[in-house]
Amino acid sequence: MGTKREQNLKKLFRLSREIPITTAKLKTMGISPFLARKYKESGWIESIGFGVYKLPNSDLSIEGLLHCLQEDLNLNLHAGAKTALEMGGVRHFYREEEKVYFYINSKSNVPLWVRSFHKKAKIIRSSKWNQKKFLYNPGTKIFDFFIAKKELAILEQIELINRGETFEETAQLFELLSSMDSKLINELLKEASIKAKRIFLFLA
């Protein structure tokens, strides 16, 4: 029978190398903050910020970050705007160098290490459109993560025009969308700004 340490290490090395490992996650595995520091000193895990680690030679991904924030830290957060559209396949490729838009409930806080994880991460606080019915799991990974449905994502993108995004690119993204759920669009438009409503109707 293996030692407790060996059992812990087996659990660690079974984790996805795309997902940051929080102290909250480690606690569910029976690994205390004290043990985590010991494992770091031994080189079995590496620190990427306060209270968060990764396995050596990990290839952390945006999808893995979303899973960590949504599932391990239980944050009411999602990828939105063109980030969600691209992750959902609206474009043929996902460009890592682009800004990554995260939408979070205005009452929640994103850990400081998230910005160091992705230098172009843009955190947008919003008290609207954060219900789970507007999100979905695209199913492109073996773990769950949730992004804005295309109806929500395009409205978020429209809201960002002249706030870091252009009308031209937004119009191009709109043209790439397949048919949208009219009932969902009508529900979302009720909370949209006047600018977003006008631009959406113009593009439609």
Residue 173: HSE in the Cβ half-sphere, 13 Å Cα cutoff: 26
Sign of CA dihedral 88, 173, 121, 106: negative
Asked whether residue 2 carries a pLDDT value surpassing 70, the answer given is no
Residue type, 87: M
Average pLDDT for the chain: 91
Band the pLDDT of 1: cuts 50, 70, 90.
very low
Asked whether residue 145 carries a pLDDT value surpassing 70, the answer given is yes
The pLDDT tens digits of the residues spanning 105-139 come to 888 888 989 987 777 889 999 878 878 899 999 99
> Which stretch of 58-72, 86-100, 189-203 has the lowest confidence by average pLDDT?
86-100
The pLDDT value given to residue 97: 65
Please answer whether residues 114 and 123 qualify as being in contact, where contact means their C-beta atoms are separated by less than 8 angstroms. Answer: yes
pTM here?
0.90
The pLDDT tens digits of the residues spanning 79-112 come to 999 999 999 988 745 555 678 999 998 888 889 8
Q: Is 104 strand, coil or helix?
A: strand
Phi-psi region of 143 (alpha: psi -120 to 50; beta: other; left: phi over 0): beta
Q: What is the DSSP string of 105-151?
A: ETT----THHHHHSTTEEEEEESSS-SGGGEE----SSS---EE-HH
Strands 100-105 vs 121-126: parallel, antiparallel or unpaired? parallel
The pLDDT tens digits of the residues spanning 13-56 come to 999 999 999 999 999 999 999 999 999 999 999 999 999 999 99
Phi-psi region of 5 (alpha: psi -120 to 50; beta: other; left: phi over 0): alpha
Q: How far is residue 54 CA from its own chain's centroid?
A: 17
Alpha-carbon distance 138 to 144, whole Å? 9
